[in-house]
Amino acid sequence: MVYPDIAGLEKIARFIRSVILTATTNAGSGHPTSSLSAVELMTALLFGGMFRYDADRPDHPNNDRLIFSKGHASPLFYGLWAAAGKIDEEEMMTYRRFGSRLEGHPTVAFPYAEAATGSLGQGLAIGVGMALNARLDRLPYRTYVLIGDSEMTEGSQWEAIQLAAYYRLDNLTGIIDVNRLGQRGETMYGHDLDAYRARVAAFGWHTIVIDGHDYRQISDAYREAQETEGLPTMIIARTFKGRGVSLVENREGWHGKPLPREELDKALGELGEVDRSVRGSIRKPDDLEPHRPAAAGISEPRYQPGEQVATRTAYGRALRRIAPGFPALVSLDAEVSNSTMAELFKDACPERFFEMYVAEQNMAGAAIGFARRGKIPFVSTFAAFMSRAYDQIRMSRYSDANIKFVGSHAGVSIGEDGPSQMGLEDIAFFRTLLDGVVLYPADAVSTEKLVEEAARHRGAVYIRTTRGATPVIYGSGEAFPIGGCKVLHRSDADVITLVGAGITLHEVLAARQMLAADNIAARIIDLYSIKPIDSATLRQAARETGLLLTVEDHVAEGGLGEAVRSALWDTGARVAGLAVGKIPGSGKPRELLEFEEISSNAVVRLARKLLGKE
């Protein structure tokens, strides 16, 4: 067996340990002990000839990927790139300062970070996405994920472990840094490595148990992982938190605490002679072109006015229709593709469809991995179940991940399935995403056009779709730009503006006709883009009609009505709202719309009251 230059690796490791200690002490915060435990594991990976990476081209498609799921070990992560010559010591001293790219937990502000991490339990799912992407691109790169032992209690880890085994991702390697100590004491299994091995192996992974401070064992493990076919590999490494510094090594009470300045020199002295000019060499990758089919033309959607089509069906048709024009588009679905109608895309483009089963956290995490490798993931499930992946979706924004989320079966209008299946809070959730887009189409044409707009848009988009069929009200030539709305009826006699979206647009259209019978003229706005919102059109309506009434199949908090009020906050406009306000149950869609008082009848009653026409 030929081993790497172990003396050289030890020299690099001493430099990295010194960087970890000095940077955290200088910052006055950070996680040096969590970083020190994995120094040998990561030094051997990057500088021992196993890892292939062009450090001058972090965006090179052939680069191996390294994800620090235990993002609090960022001092180690940055120390590795300092040893690679990509961070100088002056910049290392900016660690955790405002404006520095060396943040407390890695984000993509640092070009060598594959994704934002630090919310524990997410890195392996991101790795699943990147490993699947390698297959799709037909590239030989491998993905490595450094995992903390504490985060192995996260359910999201086991979702990812199951999916990686199912897809037989032999290009994915996890490394569990079993350093025994968590934030407040010993972890669930401490140093019982066989407990980890048995559990991970039971899910179908190849497992390797090693001493995480022994370069020979580490090198053998990486080599074995590379030679293993048909299974992902988990390296389970016994390590010691705070390794190399007697004050903190294997001692409780030092998590997230830097060494005091008065202890730093002593700790550095324990490391032995540190060559501050030492730099490690990383093996270059192959220079292969990813498999990327050329884009083709896209046809226009074809529907007849009045045709009854569920917007969820139009979503599936839209994915299938635009697929030739967006070869980077992939679809991930949580075992409900025959309800979200993503199955239409699956049938047309099976190699670009990924079944994530009922594992929404892993689905969102894998989507981050795909997006960071240049794909456009459309992620679909019931709107209610998006909440299971709230943290992954939130974190996707800090990874600048270009993901489109599509929630079907929204609102009480889904009917008999009852409240567990009704997405009633999803608009509020997605409105909180920084720079995010929230779209709620009302018919098949607007759905198809908005799916295409979402695919062209760079950033996070949420599209809300409806279970039941609704009539087509728009012609195929209509445009639906993000940030716009549609004024469907307008006259100089309008005394109220009715604002709906999705299913409630059809309720306000019906209400308009009922009000017209009483000689009450109502303006109708289809607020299909809830974020960003068309403030100018809303303000004009407020000036010209004096009263707005919003209607939504969503709770009042954070929904369409609050979005309208926020847009009009400084106008003094009268804005009233109807929203879901009672605990719903099973029933016919019409019964539930009436029960929640968001039906056309409820709109007419409140409009008359507001206008003094009772």
- Give the C-alpha separation, 208 to 450, whole Å: 48
Contact 54, 60 (CB under 8 A): yes
Residue in 360, 425, 507, 562 annotated catalytic = 360
- Give the C-alpha separation, 522 to 511, whole Å: 9
What's phi and psi for 383, nearest 5 deg?
Answer: -55, -35
Backbone dihedral region for residue 251 (phi beyond 0: left; psi -120 to 50: alpha; all else: beta): beta
Q: Compute the CA torsion angle 553, 558, 563, 568 (nearest 10 deg).
A: 120
In sequence order, which ranges of 388-443 are alpha helices (DSSP H)? Answer: 390-398, 426-431
Cα distances (Å, whole numbers) of residue 320 to 305, 324, 377: 22, 8, 14
Contact 370, 330 (CB under 8 A): yes
The overall longest dimension of the chain from CA atoms, in Å, is 91
Question: CA 322, 428, 313: angle at the middle one, nearest 5?
Answer: 30
Quick one: DSSP state of residue 115? S
Query: Crossing angle for the helix pair 360-372 and 155-166, nearest 10 degrees?
Result: 70
Q: Which residue has the tokens 């919310």?
A: 119
DSSP string computed for 312-333: HHHHHHHHHHHGGG-TTEEEEE
Active site residue 360: yes
User: Annotated active-site positions, please?
Assistant: 360
